[in-house]
Chains A and B, each alone.
Chain A
Amino acid sequence: MSGRYDAIIIGAGHNGLVGAAVLARKGKKVLVLEARDHVGGMLGDASFRVAPLPYALRPEIARMLQLDQKRLHGAKPVETLAFGSDGPPLRIIGGQVTGTDAITEHDYAILHARLGRQARALGVMMLQSPPGLGKASLGEMAGLAKMALKMRLLGKTEMRDLLRIILSNAWDLLNDEIGDGPLAGALAMDATLGGAMGPRSPGTVLTLLYRMASQSSHGHGLRVMPEGGPDALVKALSDCVTSAGGEIRTGVAVEKILVDQDRAAGVRLQSGEEIAAPLVLSNASPKTTLLTLLGVEHLDGEFIRRCRNMASKGMVSRLDFDIAQMPSLRSGGKIEQGQRLVFAPTMQAIEASFNAAKYGDLPERPVFEATYDTTAKRLCVTAQFTPHDLKGGWTDDAKSALASSVMAALEEALPGLSSAVTASRVMSPVDIETGYGASGGHWHHGELRVDQLLMLRPFDGAAQYRMPVKGLYLCGAGAHPGGDISGAPGFNAARAALRDGGH
């Protein structure tokens, strides 16, 4: 065994880094092990990013890690351009939309404010350990009580409204309030992106509220881009770890979590090297952590069954297009840095693209969001629904079919784009799975659904970060409160480990 550490963090994704930073700042000697040759996980580096738009880092965490929020949130929030089937795109920032009629603008502002209030009431639970079922501690109960109080404080009408829509679908809510179209399409993309649900699936209001719960210095539910891009966020987080005395090693893949007398004892690397530590936090997905790294021999049958049953079917592909010269929009004007383009002309179109994916096929017309990096001259597209279990597999043909269907939709808004493409890359859910320890290639390491949230995340019996083997914690998006670049699972897991003390 090589040198002693207090804690090992498997994976230098943003949650792993946040967890490591929290522990290191409490004086723990931490080692972060990253299989790739760069830190940041899905935030990636200049060569590729799964998540090019990091926007949801909890302000509480940023404050605690003494990060400069002004820089992290950029000078202004990201503007969304929602493309319809024709005409200029709608421009959306938070509760403001332009390019549509006055009634829709008004209704949307009201809806956005209302959902924001409701999301914040639920958001109370984000930085809390989920209460244990039937054995909740006082602190956990206090968290629940606080959420109940926040809901009551919404007033009777809004509380009832929240309880009505909370398990409902985005389709009905948005049809009721603003009607179908590019605006509803953009919101329904928020509600569905990363998951395996179409806008008509019950539960998509909850995922919409989940995204609305994000906070920044510009307001709630906004996309923000750090000054200096995702790299700046990654650097800020890894600096937090190293400045507190933590160590980060890249290019070292963990092969096994070592167990000694039912306690985590450290890890063994693929190189054969063993590193001892009484505390192991895994940023990999629950299935990868438990079934591969830990091994079923340490788990009971029922636990394994529940782990295997966890819904984590990835539906998102990432495509990069290098562009020689970005053409102008058909409707006039240029795409600017810090804009997010959404190609989901209606909710109907999103649902239609989900239809094919349910049976393992690629949609004829995928729906997607895109950002353009003006310095790298790269258009980053996040497309759905592209199933992990694609019929016939993710062959090169399948990838190029996806790329051309995406390009066809882009070409309509940006005439001349396809001839300006100099290179392209397609990252399928299978690539995301193998590259980032995310089973099923699922962004959030597991579907964000009521049956996999709070005390049921990742699954019953494995919630609250603590795994059946003492000293092993789950600190990735598979743990409560789930995915997006919030840092909350890492933060909560590290605090749970510290509370358990003794390590």
Chain B
Amino acid sequence: MKYDAIIVGAGHNGLTAACFMARAGLKTLIVEKEDHVGGAAVSLSLTPGWTYSNCSYVCSLLRPEIIRALELPKHGLQVIPYEGGAVFDSKGGYFAYMSDHDALRRELIRHSPRDADGYERYSRAVMRQCRFIKPLLLRTAPDPASLKPRDISELLYILKRFHNLGAREMAETVRFWTMSIAEYLDQYFETPMIKAYIAGSGIIGTGLGPYSPGTAYVLLHHYMGEVDGAIGAWGFARGGMGSITQAMARSFEASGGEIRTGSGLDRFIVRDGKVRGVVLDNGDELYAETVVSGMDVRRTFIDHTDEGELPQEFVKGVKRYRFRGSSGKLNIALDGMPTFTGAPKDASFLRGDLHFLDDMAEIERAYDDWKDGKWSASPYVDFLIPTQIDPTMAPPGKHYATIFVQYAPYELAQGEWDNANREAFAETVISKIERHSPDFRKLIVHKEIRTPKDIEDQVGLTEGNIFQGELTFDQLLFNRPVPGYAQYRSPIKGLYMCGSSTHPGGGVMGAPGANAAREVLSDLGHRIDMGMSA
């Protein structure tokens, strides 16, 4: 079979790239090793009667430009914003975050009037950073070592935007991009619980602690999303995260695209430095002059490409690329809604993200454990019961909890991720939750434990890193994934990358896929109009 383009991997980025290419009139095929599309954004059955978001679990970062251009609402996507969240401390107190500004202000004042004012300054500062970075998400990062007109003009575009911020904001931007989340928040807040609540967004998915420089930027990575035009808002996709990729698949098929699930890639066919197609693990050979890989950079080039086809320097860069998964997950089917001793009955914030923390130092200590190759003795958890908002995902009256756990190492210093250790890991998390929700344990109907190793094995995220590679500066912008190859092209002509290991990185954002499609189409001489604002 001969196609114009083949996309390897039906994750949200592969699907996004495929949609744009099919819309441009290319005869496009997606190949996927699993029996279903979606990658890390899928809804599966947790146990009979329960549907759950199997890996990624909240929606916010998906670019509105992509939602519009691919007509995802028409294809069934519905995002429900969530209203808040809370952190409970060990002394029985709580701080609730609410998306309603007045309610939030009252809650902040309850803890500290100074923090209420600090929050105003803080949210303005972060919003300015979001506005600065947003247009960069859907642009290809310039290569600063290149003298090509396009790279120079792109570099000048960024410098000009930077300069237009004005002296004060320029300084703030440099600080924001390089500071630790702890120090950043210390500038605005005094209440440990409030800082701890916000700091979580600076470390989720990373191999850094809140005291590490560079984590303030990661905060941005979780904040630059929007739901219905509300910047920084989070939401649930009705029916779970799979409904995003299902909508993408329908949009793709509506544009004439073809999807083959059930067999993965064996290898790329490369001749004379050019890609000619792919061989699947079932032996099928499929041909195309353009192949786009949604897999991470290590899988694409180390596992599925003959090293002899690649320059040494590139191979070295790929091998050096860091994943270092740091997150685990528990998915739990519940017989009913658990109660929380620290919260007023039926508090609305229970529908949001819940955390059990005293201060940022507790998160930092959790990180220290991970550095030593242990799961955190007192982990940071991001706990959600999405069935309160979308009851369709569980039998009537029943619920499910998604518990994201930071930190868990990919490899344990002592022993393996065998069943005993996996159970011990889950027990650490459950007993921490139980201290705040005494009936939680007895409501458990079924639990799924996922260590970084499981995330790698089951979802295909190398070393269990949810971003397809760390979000540190040496792996951002023009450095992602490898300096000199940050523009979605690879050393092999016709072979492109579109996964989260390319700029701007992970999260269910779709930007890497859209950017890769733009580069592919531009190389093929197509007009580049994807309905996106600059």
Contact = CB atoms under 8 A, between A and B. Distances in A.
A307 to B, nearest CB: 12
A355 B368 contact: yes
A62 interface: no
Contact of B473 (A160, A176, A202): A202
Interface string B167-202: 110111011001100010011000000000000000
A450 B171 contact: no
Contacts of B167: 132-135
Interface in B111-127: none
A63 interface: no
Given A450-B178, A451-B175, A172 B145 contact: no
Interface stretch (A161-169, A225-233, A394-402): A161-169
Chain A, interface residues (CB within 8 Å), range: 35 or more
A309 interface: yes
Interface string B348-365: 000000000000010011
B174 A456 contact: yes
B371 A200 contact: yes
Interface stretch (B42-50, B477-485, B504-512): B477-485
Interface string A18-56: 000000000000000000000000000000000000000
B129 to A, nearest CB: 14
B474 A168 contact: yes
A355 B370 CA distance: 12
Contact of B214 (A156, A202, A351, A358): A202
B170 A451 contact: no
Nearest to A360: B361
A420 to B, nearest CB: 36
Interface in A438-455: 449-451, 455
Contact of B479 (A163, A311, A451): A163
Given A164-B483, A167-B474, A176-B320, A197 B213 contact: yes
A50 B167 CA distance: 37
B211 interface: yes
Contact of A165 (B174, B214, B474): B474
A271 interface: no
A309 B483 CA distance: 34
Contacts of A202: 178, 208, 212-214, 472-473
Given A168-B472, A172-B474, A456-B171, A134 B368 contact: no
Contact of B213 (A156, A172, A203, A355): A203
B446 interface: no
B264 to A, nearest CB: 30
B367 to A, nearest CB: 10
A133 B171 contact: yes
- Residue among B145, B174, B313, B365 facing the most chain A CB atoms (10 A cut-off): B145
A411 interface: no
A456 B472 CA distance: 21
B163 interface: yes
Given A164-B479, A200-B371, A455-B171, A309 B213 contact: no
Interface in A418-476: 449-451, 455-456, 460-461
A172 B322 contact: yes
A391 to B, nearest CB: 12
B482 to A, nearest CB: 9
Contacts of A461: 168, 171
Interface in A130-171: 132-135, 152, 156-157, 159-161, 163-168
Nearest to A450: B178
A239 B528 CA distance: 69
Given A168-B473, A460-B171, A201 B479 contact: no
B178 A451 contact: yes
Contacts of B483: 160-161, 163-164
B370 to A, nearest CB: 11
A456 B167 CA distance: 11
A351 B371 contact: yes
Contact of B186 (A132, A167, A309, A456): A309
A157 B317 CA distance: 11
B212 A201 contact: yes
B162 to A, nearest CB: 10
Contacts of A455: 171
Interface string B134-167: 0000000001110000000000000000010011
Contacts of A132: 167
A164 B474 CA distance: 5
Nearest to A134: B167
Contacts of A134: 163, 166-167, 170
Given A202-B212, A359-B361, A450-B174, A309 B473 contact: no
A164 B483 CA distance: 7
A460 B168 contact: yes
A314 to B, nearest CB: 16
Nearest to B478: A163
Contact of A156 (B472, B479, B484): B484
A326 B496 CA distance: 64
Interface in A303-362: 305, 309, 311, 351, 355, 358-359
Interface in A86-145: 132-135
Nearest to A311: B183
A167 B364 contact: no
Contact of B313 (A152, A157, A159): A157
A455 B162 CA distance: 15
Query: Would you list the 10 A-B pairs with minimal beta carbon distance, nearest first?
Result: A134-B167, A460-B171, A160-B483, A167-B473, A450-B178, A451-B175, A202-B214, A168-B474, A133-B167, A203-B213
Given A163-B145, A449-B178, 13 more contacts: A134-B163, A160-B145, A163-B144, A163-B479, A168-B473, A172-B474, A197-B213, A202-B212, A309-B186, A358-B364, A359-B361, A359-B364, A359-B365
28 contacts: A132-B167, A133-B167, A133-B170, A134-B166, A135-B167, A156-B484, A160-B483, A163-B478, A167-B214, A168-B473, A172-B322, A172-B474, A200-B371, A202-B212, A202-B214, A202-B472, A203-B214, A311-B183, A358-B211, A358-B361, A449-B179, A450-B174, A450-B178, A456-B171, A456-B175, A460-B168, A460-B171, A460-B172
